[in-house]
Amino acid sequence: MDYTHLGRSGLSVSRLCLGTMNFGWKTEESDAHAIMDRALADGVNFFDTANVYGFDAGKGRTEEVLGSWFAQGGERREKTVLATKVYGGMSDWPNDTFLSARNIVRACEASLRRMQTDWIDLYQFHHVDLRTPWEEIWQACETLVAQGKVLYVGSSNHAAWQIVAANEAAARRNFQGLVSEQSHYNLLTRLVELEVLPAAQHYGVGIIPWSPLAGGLLGGILEKQEGGRRGDARTQERVETHRPALEQYEAFCREIGHEPGEVALAWLLHQKAVTAPIVGPRTMAQFDGALRALDITLDDGQLARLDEIFPGYKPAPMEYAW
């Protein structure tokens, strides 16, 4: 397993991040524990979750699954770089949502209880809160850091100007600020190349891509459909929208002898701004496929071919101005 620093921090994380969103409702607790054990055994030390994950089984359920796994001991917690998120509503009461100082502190304490741990390595803002000033947000985070409950802070789904505003506000307070940003980034979804990636690189913010397989479209979906797997109506509509590119992509993957999902992950690992793509397996077999991406090296010609199939963007303003 290769490791890299999370943004400009000194924290070492694996080049793949284990996303746990399926744990506790799509993936049974025992199976989730087995996947996490396998991840640590293979050197994946970076795990991501959120306080609202659990869905049909109830918000907070996924964090509880991590907590029961940590409770087994064996240095599971000590070896894991644990990331969770705050923002989404945990109840119908008005102060149990968003990024007020009250919610940040209380949500952190609730996550700690569910996960049976004393600290969170990376505490992330799940979405931007335009109604709460950064001074208030950083005041709450400074308190949690001073208490040892949070070590680093990151963002998710933030625009470039929001990353700038956040880190400039933190600098005025002599606080570290954001060290990471979770963005929707894959071969099909490359808008972050315009401004988010350049801003992140300027401020030393590591990019943690979510949905690296574009909701399954980059996982060999055409071949799967030929085998009888159709997916829901929305997925089928997206397939038809992108069919010409997907046909070229799957043919390219066959040509180089790798599975499409593995190539999609490998491509992200070749992007300079990327720290670690988030892989969210439901099964052990899916996790095995993600691991194989670490062994794929794409040469310049292959990377150029992928850019032809899925055109990206130059950094702004070079994309649209002279």
Which positions are catalytic?
A: 53
> Rounded to whole angstroms, how far apart are CA atoms 173 and 142?
9
DSSP state, residue 231: -
3-5 and 12-14 as β-strands: parallel, antiparallel, unpaired?
antiparallel
Report CA Rg, the chain.
Answer: 20
- The distance from CA 12 to its chain's CA centroid, rounded to whole angstroms, is 16
Neighbouring CB atoms inside 10 A of 61's CB total 18
- Given a contact cutoff of 8 angstroms between Cβ atoms, the answer to whether 210 and 16 are in contact is no
- The distance from CA 227 to its chain's CA centroid, rounded to whole angstroms, is 30
- Given a contact cutoff of 8 angstroms between Cβ atoms, the answer to whether 194 and 313 are in contact is yes
CA atoms within 13 A on the CB side of 80: 29
